[in-house]
Structure 1
Amino acid sequence: MSDSYNTNNMLPKNVMIEDCKGNRDTEIITHQFKNGRLFLVGTIDQRMAVDFISAMLVLAEEQKDVEIIIDSPGGEVSAGLMIYDILKSYKYKITMYCTGFAASMAALILAGGQKGRRFILPHSQVMIHEPLISSGFGGSATSIEKTAQSILETKAVLNKILAEHTGRSVNEINKATKDDNFMTSEEAVQFGICDEIRSIF
């Protein structure tokens, strides 16, 4: 079996690229990166945020437009906001595609993309909700009160961002995020998280 194939699922890991130096094997993910495509896939945490921001910095140095493929259940608020801030400050075009699922912080990142360039595939879904309390929550009454206040402040920040990018009022966002709010591709466009249902190709 050739090393260019993943023996678990038989999908190719490498692609043959022809350039001025001739033919050579290149990892598919590396090939995509060189063409300005990044993947925001899996749980959003600090490590993902750092890797993502590092890649964006390289693409900014090369003055490249970027395509971002999103399939994520969300994750840490602080990591998600790091990614959001970097995307908002990027000077070149960013096109986003929701492929599969964009939930929680991933949905906020998708909504925060450049207007007219936030796409979703026909059978993909989006989900928005309030910030969740992490497991192991406890402590003194005072510390619990402070934590609750911090969560409410985080909710206000996130809902303000969603309101800004969807054209909805903060009150509408508060109601929409009260429970896990799953949306089809059509509903995500109607709500204002995405601009259009479109294939990547």
Structure 2
Amino acid sequence: MSAPALLRSSNGIQQISIESKLMSEQRQLFITGEINANSAIEFFKEVIYLNSEDGIKPISVFINSPGGEIDNGLLVYDAIIGSRAPIHMFCIGCAYSMGAVLFAAGKERYMLPHSKLMLHEPLLGERIGGNASSIKSISDSLLETKSMMNKLLAFHTGKTEKEIDKLTSYDHYFTAKEAVEMGLADGIKDFSAIMEGCV
């Protein structure tokens, strides 16, 4: 849990979380750690709230995530793409796997100089078991997911699906400079430049 911030109002001083203060006053959200059901629905609610407050002013999303569950990641993706207020993404450490897809989906996408992205094929989240028909069904579903993710990345990078398929055939890491060259990011900003654009 992060340290509390102090909120001064006509009712005196009260403590609120730093995340709440940044969200309400600066329209800044965070995607950190593994993407799962809890983090995805929390992000979804925050985007709804900020859109209800102002559907035009941009929302800044800072991501530092190793990735996570694809289905829950797609809920976050849909919120980013569907937000009326443009969402600007900032990679502040790493955005791996599903995290890289979410980062690439931003209206504007910037990376700190030493941050990294990583892409790879969808992975099975649990051990395979069952009969031959069940295993084939799992395999077919995984291939469909791979194709869908490749289409999303091709759309956001301007690359072909064939190029994306090659990039995701193994764990492919990108420095900030490489991410810009690949069309995964729009630019590199240092901490002070990010702060200037968020206040």
What is the aligned partner in structure 1 of residue 7 from structure 2?
A: 17
SS at match of 1:95: strand
What is the aligned partner in structure 2 of residue 182 from structure 1?
A: 173
SS at match of 1:182: strand
Q: Does 1:75 align with 2:78?
A: no
Residues 33-63 of structure 1 show CA distances to partners (whole Å, capped at 9, x for unaligned) of 1121111001001111111101111111101
Distance 2:171 2:117 in 1: 10
What is the aligned partner in structure 2 of residue 197 from structure 1?
A: 188
What is the aligned partner in structure 1 of residue 136 from structure 2?
A: 145
Distance 1:174 1:198 in 2: 29
By how many angstroms is 1:188 displaced?
0.8
Amino acid of the residue matched to residue 183 of structure 2? G
Counterpart selection for 1:122 from 113, 122, 126:
113
SS at match of 2:50: helix
CA RMSD of aligned residues (A): 1.5
Distance 2:90 2:78 in 1: 18
* 1:22-37 correspondence to structure 2 within 5 Å: 22-34=12-24, 35-37=26-28
Give TM-score, length-normalised by structure 2: 0.90
SS at match of 2:29: strand
Q: Does 1:154 align with 2:166?
A: no
Amino acid of the residue matched to residue 30 of structure 1? S
By how many angstroms is 1:23 displaced?
4.2
By how many angstroms is 1:179 displaced?
0.2
By how many angstroms is 1:87 displaced?
1.0
| Count of equivalent residues | 189
What is the aligned partner in structure 2 of residue 107 from structure 1?
A: 100
* Seq. identity, %: 38
Residues 47-88 of structure 1 show CA distances to partners (whole Å, capped at 9, x for unaligned) of 111111011111111015211010000011100111111111
Q: Does 1:43 align with 2:34?
A: yes
Which structure shows the higher helix fraction? 2
By how many angstroms is 1:22 displaced?
4.7
Unmatched runs of 5 consecutive residues or more in structure 2: none
What is the aligned partner in structure 2 of residue 98 from structure 1?
A: 91
Moved more, 34-43 or 134-143: 134-143
Amino acid of the residue matched to residue 172 of structure 2? N
Unmatched runs of 5 consecutive residues or more in structure 1: 1-5, 7-11
By how many angstroms is 1:166 displaced?
0.4
Amino acid of the residue matched to residue 183 of structure 1? F
